[in-house]
Structure 1
Amino acid sequence: MDSVLIDVIHWITRAIELTGTGIIVSGAGAALLKFLGQVFKGALDERAVGGFRSNLGEAILLGLEFLVAADIINTIAIQPTLQSLAVLAGIVLIRTFLSFSLEVEIKGRWPWQRETGKHRDT
């Protein structure tokens, strides 16, 4: 593959990785600020803690989507070896497990289950 094209793809994957990391960091910060605002108002209860965990989990999930996308692009376009494919498979398995775990934690149901009409206020 052309060296310039590899460099461009490398920079694109790096930008996607930085976006994913930024989403996790900014989402965690926003969730923490919202939670601390509720704490200072004296509204520290189970609902506030649940909202914090939900907001934090959603930020992590979205950031992980970007990080996995960057890994997929990197594996397919730059390093298409069996070893890099095995590493990608491991990352995708871990990410899938995390996604399912966070989905159950946030929404109280498996991703394939229909919503029951009860919503957790965040």
Structure 2
Amino acid sequence: MTDVLLQIANALVLGLEAVGIAVIIGGFVLATVVWLVNMRRMSTHEAYVDYRRRSVRGLILGLEFLVAADIIMTVAIEYSMENVLMLALIILIRTLLVFALHLEIEGRLPWTQSEDDSKA
């Protein structure tokens, strides 16, 4: 029975990793297509800022899937202190990356309100 659960967990991890990679690639492809369309109606700077926002959002969402895959792999498949510490380091690095990306595209920390949020 445990072999079946292990195979299911492995398949789930591979699926989540594939979705994460697809989301990252899809985010960049979509951002590039929108950027090419926007180049005709926006200034170069506005189109560039919009491109960065769209591509970074895809990257952040893809990283969430990859973190979920790492958590499942560490807890369900390869549970050891070394793997738990490696997972903690991966999550720390990805969390810092997401905060830095969010700060770059939004111009504010994730827990602070934007002007749009304060008006609602």
Superposed pair shares fold, TM > 0.5: yes
- Residue 70 (structure 1) aligned with residue 58 (structure 2): no
Q: What does residue 6 of structure 1 align with?
A: 6
Partner Cα distance (1:60, 1:109) in 2: 18
Partner Cα distance (1:102, 1:116) in 2: 19
Gaps of 5+ in 2: none
Partner Cα distance (1:38, 1:13) in 2: 37
Instruction: Give how far 1:86 is off.
Output: 1.1
Partner Cα distance (2:28, 2:116) in 1: 27
Instruction: Give how far 1:112 is off.
Output: 1.1
Instruction: Give how far 1:74 is off.
Output: 0.6
Q: What does residue 35 of structure 1 align with?
A: 35
1:64-98 alpha-carbon deviations (Å, 9 max, x no partner): 00000000011000011011111101110111111
TM-score computed with the length of structure 2 as normaliser: 0.91
Q: What does residue 52 of structure 2 align with?
A: 53
Q: What does residue 98 of structure 1 align with?
A: 97
Matched residue SS, 1:114? coil
More helix by share: 2
Matched residue SS, 1:24? helix
Q: What does residue 114 of structure 2 align with?
A: 115
Q: What does residue 22 of structure 1 align with?
A: 22
- Which structure's relative contact order is higher, taking Cα pairs within 8 Å and 6+ residues apart? 1
Partner Cα distance (2:22, 2:80) in 1: 29
Instruction: Give how far 1:18 is off.
Output: 0.3
Matched residue SS, 1:117? helix
RMSD: 1.5
User: Which amino acid is 2:5 matched to?
Assistant: L
The number of residue pairs the alignment matches comes to 117
1:37-78 alpha-carbon deviations (Å, 9 max, x no partner): 222x26342211110000001000000000000000110000
Gaps of 5+ in 1: none
Give % identity.
36
- Following TM superposition, where does structure 1 have runs of at least 4 consecutive aligned residues deviating by more than 4 angstroms? none
